[in-house]
Chain A
């Protein structure tokens, strides 16, 4: 982590400094070129003026050339053919010294003038010197600054890595510090924190599931053990032993059912239960599911009404969907008091969806429980754990059965006003012919 961070820092700095150096060098070269051109052209203009003055003086009164030399202070030579008319002292200038030379010539005469360009060269040299010292300095400063800046920018990454490294299954509640929600790193940290929250959630669920499962498994084991131990404390009649064994077998049955349900759920979650989909008439499915449980409703003198809209079809695995629906119905019958009413309604919605509603007149489910009733082992009434047959997995299985068939389950309820579970499935538009499996 650290190595990668510092390498990013180095690369950033190098790129930054490199680009800056290139720009500065190009810029400096441009300046030097520009200044040199301007200085030399100024010198040339001066020389041209000089030569013009010399020519003028020469044409009017040759004798004044010496005076001109005194006044202007440059060196020149004026000749007519091969004869030198005038030349300043020190002419011709030494070859080694830098001179700018200009000459005009016509049939009668020739004028050559030279001006010392040392000053120009000196200026250019100074400029060059300044740049040569200044540019590396500036790049150095840019390098250092860039390095510092990159370090500052990348520091949150290091901090995030450090925090992330410390997070384990036990400290999933920890979150990365977010300095600024809107910059790139803030967003990254935000995304990371969201992931952590989901992970924590999943872990929490798993932990709760494990705790609940072991509780549910322990309860029948404890019952079996104590019933057996108590029975062995003193001799019993044959009927007494039969009763004890029967009681233990009941617990075995409970355990079996629990393991069975857990296996179903585990296999379902691992996607290992293959679905065989057909076109299914939901009205028929709901009617047959209700009929198979009607006897339980009759036993509690409840009214179980099924109203169906004809020709509501969906593509699903009827066995699995039926199991889900039966679980919902069973809950409705179980929690609705005697002489209550349970209504099953199948309808084809307008938006290409089909719905099966199971409405009861039971005690209802308060809002804070509604989110959680589909969780495994979750019970609205925590105290009621050992009621007949229930292990708290029915709604989990129902939800899986419905979602596996591409649907969703909705719950509308108010405390004291009954509950309405709604299975929503995509409605099949095709005619009722055999579809592909």
Chain B
């Protein structure tokens, strides 16, 4: 999978490159809109991450031109302007998704995965991590031989963690995708933390290995505890 990152801020570009390469994507970085435009026209990418505030050539302009030329590659835009009209403008110009700066890298990775997955039906009926099993049809969750009694919300959180198993899930992702609240200026983080603590009690307290891990300062991850 080849990803083009068009980003002028060097530190951000470097972090994106390393984050994506750690997920085994092949990454090219362009630091200006023109360079990005040139690369897209001469090479093939599976996905473009495009910053909107670029020197010389505005990201929206690049995107509009590319779409006019019939480019189908999914484009995820990064913007520091999170006013609704800016996002709408970006999506109207042909972007497939957007993220507002400052964004969490785990969320960017999740969105990239989702964009690359798009179009392919996601017919998973059962999810599993170690001996934790979730049946999406009967909504039954078991750990080993034991059935876990989860509330609806706990089930949704666990499903989200299982779908992103092995990867970090930030509080923002949970807020948006599980609680469906977009504003970060709400006291929701505390709600998430308490919910997570309860879920962990049910999933991990009486079992080994511990599966739900807190990644300090970032979020949570569902994976086997590594020594």
Contacts and interface: CB of A to CB of B under 8 A. Distances in A.
Interface of A: 242-243, 245-250, 252-253, 256-257, 260-261, 263-264, 267, 272, 274, 292-293, 295-296, 298-299, 323, 326-327, 330, 388-389, 393-394, 397
A300 to B, nearest CB: 10
Interface of B: 82-84, 102, 179, 183-191, 194-195, 198, 215-218
A295 B189 CA distance: 12
Nearest to B181: A292
Contacts of A261: 185
B186 A323 contact: yes
B210 to A, nearest CB: 16
B186 A247 contact: no
A257 B184 contact: yes
A248 B217 contact: yes
Contacts of A292: 179, 188, 191
19 contacts: A242-B216, A246-B215, A246-B216, A246-B217, A246-B218, A247-B217, A249-B216, A249-B217, A250-B217, A256-B102, A257-B184, A260-B185, A292-B191, A295-B194, A299-B194, A323-B183, A327-B186, A388-B190, A393-B185
A256 B84 CA distance: 18
A432 B198 CA distance: 39
B18 to A, nearest CB: 14
A108 to B, nearest CB: 121
B217 A252 contact: yes
Nearest to B100: A260
B106 to A, nearest CB: 11
A397 B185 contact: yes
A253 B191 CA distance: 16
A401 to B, nearest CB: 11
B85 to A, nearest CB: 9
Given A256-B102, A264-B185, 17 more contacts: A242-B216, A246-B215, A246-B217, A247-B216, A248-B217, A252-B217, A253-B217, A257-B185, A260-B185, A264-B183, A295-B198, A296-B190, A298-B194, A299-B194, A327-B186, A330-B190, A389-B187
A274 B185 CA distance: 17
A272 B85 CA distance: 10
Nearest to B153: A295
Contacts of B84: 274
Contacts of A253: 217
Contacts of A245: 217
Contacts of A394: 187
Contacts of B187: 293, 296, 326-327, 330, 389, 394
A57 B121 CA distance: 151
B199 to A, nearest CB: 11
B83 to A, nearest CB: 7
Contacts of B195: 295
Nearest to A249: B217
Contacts of A397: 185
B185 A252 contact: no
Contacts of B217: 245-250, 252-253
Which of B102, B188, B191, B217 has the largest number of chain A CB atoms within 10 A? B217
Contacts of B102: 252, 256
A394 B189 CA distance: 14
Listed from nearest, the 7 A-B pairs whose CB atoms lie closest are A249-B217, A246-B216, A246-B217, A330-B187, A261-B185, A250-B217, A260-B184
